[in-house]
Every structure is written in C-alpha cells, then in structure tokens.
Amino acid sequence: MKAIQPMLRILALLCGALCFVGQTSAADSGIPSSVEKGLKLLKTAGTAPAFEAWYAGGILAESVRARDEALRLKSILTSLQGYRSFEVVAAKDIGTNSKLLYLALTFERGMLYGSFLVWKSDRDWIVQRTEFNTRPELVMPWLGFGSNATEN
C-alpha cells in the first residue's frame, strides 16, 4: 500500500497539470489579435464590423469581396442564431510569415467552421482570406479523406 501512494500522488499531479495546460485563452493559443477582435465583433456588432476588423490593413480592406462575404456569413448566421464561443481546431504555419487557422464556432442552434489565412505585416497579423461553412470537411480538407467521405 505504501508503494502505491507515491504513484497515486504523481498521477494526481500529472492529471492536474494536464487540466491546467488544456485551459488556454485566445492569446495563448496563437490567435492573432485581428481574428480575436473580429470574433468579438461578430458576437456584439454583426458580420460587417467583424469582416472590417479581420481585413483591416490588408488587400481586402474595404473591398467588394469583404462586403459580399459578410452578407453570405450573415445569411448563414440567421439560421444558427446567437454566437457563443470558438475553439481552435488546428493552426498550421506556412513559412515564417503566414499561417492557416481552423476554428469551430459554437452558436445557439449549431456549429460553424472557419479558416483564416493570416500573414504577418510589420505591425500585426492580418487576415488575407476567410472561409466559413457548416460542413467541417469543406473548411478542413483532411476531414474528408477516405473512400466514404462523400457518403451520407
């Protein structure tokens, strides 16, 4: 019995450490401030301000494409209602100055999946492209691998 107690203490410490490591904020998980700001605006102000924050300083700032994407996302969100939170599914570096972030966004009536292609400017990370869909395999291509990927 005495030999088991030290092992149980070590196991308890490891479990506690894993629980602590699993709790990260957006900043800890490598979410650029522009993406985080847009997600906050999505919750409080809607799609147009979110896209303005995401594309600020980049090639799509004030573009027709940004407006069209905001309208498309707004039509999707009408069904999902009430944005609640997000979690990072994956983040992939593409060299030293760009990365691709994959997020799962939770709403009152379902999930929305998104990807953000971001690049590092002289001041901050800027969103260069976004993609949103309720079907995760369309945003995260590795989920669709396999012979039965298109079967229902």
Query: Which residues, other chains included, contact 126 with Cβ-Cβ below 8 Å and sequence gap of 6+?
Result: 32, 34, 55, 56, 57, 58, 118, 119, 120
Tokens of 5: 């107690």
Tokens of 12: 């308890």
Domains of the chain, by residue range, sit at: 29-139
Confidence of residue 147 (pLDDT cuts 50, 70, 90): very low
What is the reported pTM?
Answer: 0.74
pLDDT, tens digit (0-9, with 9 covering 90-100), for 48-99: 999 999 999 888 887 788 788 888 999 999 999 999 999 999 999 999 999 9
Q: What percent of the chain has pLDDT over 90?
A: 58
User: Would you state the pLDDT for residue 5?
Assistant: 52
What is the distance in angstroms between the CA of the first residue and the CA of the last residue of the chain? 53
Burial of 16 (0-12, 13-18, 19+ CB in 10 A): exposed
Tokens of 52: 């303005």
User: How many residues appear in the chain?
Assistant: 152
DSSP helix/strand/coil, 52: helix
Considering the segment(s) 29-139 as one domain, its CATH architecture is Roll (3.10)
Question: Looking at per-residue confidence, does 106 or 146 come out higher?
Answer: 106
